[in-house]
Amino acid sequence: MTTEDTPVRPDAPDVTDLHAPDSVGAWLVRLLKGIAVGVGFILPGLSGGVLAVIFKIYDPLIKFLANPFRNLWRQVKYFLPVGIGGLIGVFLFSVVVSAAFGRYEAIFVCLFIGFVIGTFPSLWRQAGQQGRAAKHGLILVVSAVVIFAIMLLGGSMNLEVPPSIPVWLGSGALIGLGVIVPGMSPSNFLIYFGLYNKMTDGIKDVDPAVFIPLFIGLVLCVVLLAKAANWAFDRHYAGMYHFILGMVAGSSLAIFPTVVLDPERVERTGLGWGAFLGACAVMLVLGVIASWLFSKVEDRYSTERGAIESAG
Domain boundary assignment for the chain = 15-304
**Euclidean distance between CA atoms 98 and 82, whole angstroms:** 25
DSSP string, 124-166: HHHHTTT---HHHHHHHHHHHHHHHHHHHHHHT--------HH
pLDDT reported for residue 216: 93
79-90: string of b/e by CB count within 10 Å (b at 16+)?
A: bebbebbbebbb
Q: Write down the pTM of the prediction.
A: 0.64
pLDDT reported for residue 105: 74
Phi-psi region of 20 (alpha: psi -120 to 50; beta: other; left: phi over 0): beta
Tell me the pLDDT of the chain (312 aa) as tens digits: 344 443 445 444 433 343 445 677 888 888 988 888 888 777 665 667 777 877 778 888 888 888 877 878 888 888 899 989 988 888 877 776 556 556 777 887 788 788 778 777 777 877 888 888 999 999 999 999 998 888 777 665 556 788 899 999 998 888 888 778 776 667 767 766 778 778 878 887 888 998 899 989 988 888 888 888 888 888 888 888 898 888 878 877 887 887 788 888 888 888 889 999 999 999 999 888 877 776 665 555 444 444 444 443
- Per 3-state DSSP, the chain is made up of helix, strand and coil in percentages (nearest 5) of 75, 0, 25
Phi-psi region of 232 (alpha: psi -120 to 50; beta: other; left: phi over 0): alpha
pLDDT reported for residue 156: 59
Q: What is the amino acid identity at position 311?
A: A
Q: What is the amino acid identity at position 217?
A: G
pLDDT reported for residue 308: 42
- Calculate helix-pair angle for 196-204, 24-42, nearest 10 degrees: 140
pLDDT reported for residue 280: 92
**Which residues, 6 or more positions from 305, have their beta carbon under 8 angstroms from its beta carbon?**
11, 13, 17, 56, 60
pLDDT reported for residue 12: 41
pLDDT reported for residue 281: 94
